[in-house]
Amino acid sequence: MLFSSLTFLFIFLPILIGIYFLANEKYRNYVLLVASLIFYSWGEPKYIILMLVSIIVNYFFALMIGKQKKKHKLSLVIAIIFNIGLLVFFKYLGFIIANINPIIGADFKEIKLSLPIGISFYTFQILSYVIDVYRGKVKVQKNIFYLATYISLFPQLIAGPIVRYETVEKELQHRTCTIEKASDGMRRFVVGLAKKVIIANNVAVIADTIFDSNIVTTYGAPVIIFGTLAYTFQIYFDFSGYSDMAIGLGKIFGFTFNENFDHPYLATSITDFWRRWHISLSSWFRDYVYIPLGGNRVSKLKWIRNIMVVWALTGLWHGASWNFLIWGMFYGILLLLEKEFLHKLLDKLPKFINWIYAFIIINIGWLIFRVESLSTLKQLFINLFTFKTAGGLDFIRENFNLISYIPFMLIAFPLCFPIFNKLNEKYKDSVVFGIFKDIILIGLLLLSIAFLINNSYNPFIYFRF
């Protein structure tokens, strides 16, 4: 089930809100647990067992770690192996076999498994919980149903943000649910829904038409740039829209999730970009991989190793494909260059030049991210950097209908910047502005529903995560 579906908006969510607020506070976690399991099983009925097994096994791992006075590492190591093992088996085993066979001359049969939705998200949440119990940062959750509620909590289950147990530890025990808080949550949800349905889904038509074409390698630089820009807007408004909806839903039910995006296309360097993009993922890798490896408090060579390991894993986290690994390494190298050399130059340049540099690099990164075939990717870069322009007129003639989607591109660009944040801050005490804002949000909600009823394009880009 998707947040941006009529089933969720008109059946699942209203019924859940009604039951939740009618229930006694001590039963609300159980209401959310049952609702979350229904939500997940709606699209992945066979893999709900996998998630439940993972919850039960890690519940006992955490109990074992918590009972050990000296916190012996063995239980933690076994827990990490178990969780990473499940992730590797379901997400990467086919990729590993396909690449090992030609190297060692073997003929291992490829195992084709459908990827459990959200396995990367809930595995990382479970790992953060078990590791933090070992570190003494959080207390062991002895109520298995409360732990299951945290792991399966439907707002962030399939598309993030990655919510750490310490963030919601107290709220699992007691949280305040008020009309005001629920109203704020609904407003945030509507913003996210509009980002996803009105902007992301429509610019996705442009990106998918170009990059899913069987003649994409014949397109010249203008078409490639057009498609890349469309994907740049699609992935931001799609992903940040889902994060907004998750944060809003969490607030409705009394939870406060951390922000996952901070206007990333405002970045003036790649380092700045990764402080703003998918914050929960980059901070997870920082705290559970980079720092345990030694961070930057090691020799130069080991520091370089640490950076590259983190970014190789970041790339692979997004999918079992070479383009994702290349994408991660691409950013790892860029971050090393910025930290060692480029920051001195960037500090001397005007902010606008820095922004242009970052935005171009980010777009190149999204081109790598979007195109899975390495041969296709290679040809697109050749066409792009040799400024090949052939095929542009043919593309326009064959895809003239895409002109109707260009206004969504024009709307997307300014909305990447904190225009409304500044207006909110300036007029936060204005009753008139508050009423005006709510009228706009009602309009966006109705428009989003109209797009969904009209069967507009509604892709879900997180199946591979």
The Cα–Cα gap between 407 and 245 comes to: 24
Is residue 235 within 8 A of residue 465, CB to CB? The reply is no
Q: For residue 245, give the nearest of 195, 313, 170 by alpha carbon.
A: 195
Torsion of Cα atoms, 403 then 408 then 411 then 416, to 10°: -130
Catalytic one of 72, 174, 263, 318: 318
Annotated catalytic, 318?
yes
The Cα–Cα gap between 459 and 330 comes to: 27
Torsion of Cα atoms, 325 then 326 then 330 then 336, to 10°: 50
Within 10 angstroms of residue 39's Cβ, the number of other Cβ atoms is: 24
The Cα–Cα gap between 200 and 35 comes to: 27
Torsion of Cα atoms, 195 then 197 then 201 then 203, to 10°: -50
The answer for residues whose C-beta is within 8 angstroms of residue 82's C-beta and 6 or more apart is 57, 58, 61
Is residue 259 within 8 A of residue 244, CB to CB? The reply is no
Within 10 angstroms of residue 196's Cβ, the number of other Cβ atoms is: 27
How many Cα atoms within 13 Å fall on the side-chain side of residue 93? 15
Q: For residue 327, give the nearest of 376, 365, 356 by alpha carbon.
A: 365
The Cα–Cα gap between 84 and 11 comes to: 36
Catalytic residue set: 318
